[in-house]
Amino acid sequence: MSWYEFRPYVPVAERRRQAQQKLKKLKKKGQSVAPVTIEGRAIAKSFWGKSWCDNLERYSDYENRLPRGRTYIRNGSVVDLQITKGQVLAFVAGSELYKIKIDIAPVKATRWKSVCRDCAGSIDSLVELLQGRLAKGVMDRVCREGDGLFPSPGEIKLSCSCPDWAEMCKHAAAALYGVGARLDEKPQLLFVLRGVDESDLFARTGEGMPLAAAAPSTASRLDDSDVAALFGLEMADTVGSKAPAGPRHAGKASKNARAAKKKAKGKSAAASPRAKPHNSNTRTNITARNRPSRTSNVDRPAT
């Protein structure tokens, strides 16, 4: 059969059955398989998943091929999808089992720094980030067309083993939608795919602050003597002094106060009567003089 001839139609159920048989052979060779399963009509439900799909649909380059891709992803034709740094590998069940390879350029360092700088101070935790519970301004900045986190068509290279000559075939489109569905389960894979560290978005909180606000200047710092003088002034104000001394005279006033206190202490010590030393003999003599004398039987004369 020629590449330009239409292949016979194969029902979806039969395509998936044939794909599963081929995937079993891959599993026996040790290859892991992760199919994409969609429940309902919505391909993605989380912030990151929907944002990825919205980014695909904003480009006119893809608008003709994306509808067929949505059909394939919804009917379970993406039987395997693997996301690694800068690359998406997938198997999609069509008339045969086709292999898709999507190369996505990493975010440039200057572009990522700009995103982190604009979001500085707005993201508090990694959990909030991965759950998409962000302020609208942060969401708009991260998802901004051209210089946000999501890739543009110029950063995406598509390859499929099918005979379709189009740059984006329906199988590649289904694989791209599969990335959005997978982000519902593991949003951190978006940062892996783009080659950036998600923790940079909240780890750089202080980088956007001017240096004067981030740390006090050396001119505003006080040494120990200045701090003591400052507290001395505050205490004088509390007492009610009308003209508090400036910082230059605070040390001199304190020195004079100590000298005056020492002088007053010396005067009080000189004015008080000097205590006489304690004399045990004097007390004994006074007591003996006032006490009536007694003569023992030994000294009394015999009668």
Q: Are 130 and 198 in contact (CB under 8 A)?
A: yes
Query: What digits encode the pLDDT tens for the residues 284-300?
Result: 444 444 454 444 444 44
pLDDT for the residue numbered 21: 77
> Where in the chain does DSSP place strands (E)?
78-84, 87-93, 97-104, 156-160
Sorted by where each begins, the domain ranges of the chain are 12-203, 222-259
User: pLDDT-derived band of residue 264, with 50, 70 and 90 as boundaries?
Assistant: low
pLDDT for the residue numbered 270: 52
Mutual orientation of helices 170-185 and 47-57 as an angle, nearest 10°? 160
Of 116, 107, 115, give the one whose Cα is nearest residue 207.
116
- Spatial distance between the Cα atoms of 146 and 150, rounded to a whole number of angstroms: 8
What is this structure's pTM?
Answer: 0.63
- Spatial distance between the Cα atoms of 56 and 44, rounded to a whole number of angstroms: 13
The predicted model gives 66-71 an average pLDDT of 92
E strand or H helix at 20, and its extent? helix 12-28
Lowest mean pLDDT across 11-15, 104-108, 160-164, 227-231: 227-231
205 has pLDDT over 60: no
How many residues are recorded in the chain? 303
Q: What percent of the chain has pLDDT over 90?
A: 34
pLDDT for the residue numbered 255: 58
Lowest mean pLDDT across 15-24, 49-58, 167-176, 183-192: 15-24
Lowest mean pLDDT across 210-224, 227-241, 244-258, 282-296: 210-224
pLDDT for the residue numbered 87: 97
pLDDT for the residue numbered 259: 66
> What SS3 state is found at 5?
coil
Query: What digits encode the pLDDT tens for the residues 93-133?
Result: 888 889 999 999 999 999 999 999 888 877 777 777 888 77
pLDDT for the residue numbered 203: 59
5 has pLDDT over 70: no
- Spatial distance between the Cα atoms of 188 and 191, rounded to a whole number of angstroms: 6
